[in-house]
Amino acid sequence: MGIKLLQRAGLITAIVTQERTRLVARRAEKLAIPELHQGVMDKLSVIRDMAARHGISLDQVAYIGDDVNDIEALKAVGLSASPADGLPQVVRVVKYVCRKKGGEGAVRELAELILKAQGQVSSFKGQVSSSGKRS
């Protein structure tokens, strides 16, 4: 739901992953994520390219990652985040550590944080959060 809320607010969503699986492709398709980049070894390069194509700076990019191959990208973006269960090296470099773990609502938590910061609270008001409580 967090991805959908960001999209409804007009934000571009993306998946940039080192993995190359049909499962990730199906997830991106289901969520209508316009930017899917699999098998990526240099995530920062892909993020720079996406930002340039969409006419935004890296300062306007939010990125959530949990492993060492995310660190370079996390250091370069405006809002970096890690799920609660991110590796210690990742948690040390991000600007925000989610209360939720990966796969348990971290992306939704970050989406709500972004929307609140933009004053778009009404975009998700009344939606059920990952904790099961209404926002």
Question: What are 118-129's pLDDT values in tens digits?
Answer: 887 554 444 433
Once rounded to an integer, what is the mean pLDDT over residues 99-108? 94
Give phi and psi for 2, each to the nearest 5. -60, -40
Q: Hey, is 96 helix, strand or coil?
A: strand
131: pLDDT confidence band, cut at 50, 70 and 90? very low
pLDDT tens digit string along 74-97? 999 999 999 999 999 999 999 999
The DSSP symbol for 67 reads S
- The percentage of the chain sitting over the pLDDT mark of 90, rounded to a whole number, equals 84
Tell me whether residue 72 is in a domain: yes
What pLDDT, on a 0 to 100 scale, did the predictor assign at position 119? Answer: 83
Is pLDDT larger for residue 117 or for residue 135? 117
pLDDT at 45: 97
pTM of the model: 0.83
What are the angstrom distances between the C-alpha of 54 and each of 11, 19, 61? Answer: 11, 24, 11
The answer to whether residue 78 is domain-embedded is yes
Is 95 part of any domain? Answer: yes
Q: Which residue has the tokens 């944080």?
A: 113
Nearest CA to 109 among 85, 133, 79, 129? 129
> Residue 135 falls within a domain, yes or no?
no
Identify the pLDDT of residue 121. 59
Structural domains in the chain (count): 1
More confident residue, 125 or 112: 112
pLDDT, mean of residues 48-63: 96
Mean pLDDT of 6-10: 93
Name the phi and psi angles at 44, rounded to 5: -60, -40
64: enclosing H helix or E strand: strand 62-64
Q: Is 91 part of a structural domain of the chain?
A: yes
Asked whether residue 33 is domain-assigned, the answer is yes
* CATH code for position 91: 3.40.50.1000
Instruction: Report angle CA 64, 66, 71 to the nearest 5 degrees.
Output: 80
Compute CA 72 distance to the chain's CA centroid, rounded to the nearest angstrom.
15
83: domain range?
2-122
Statement: residue 50 has pLDDT above 80: yes
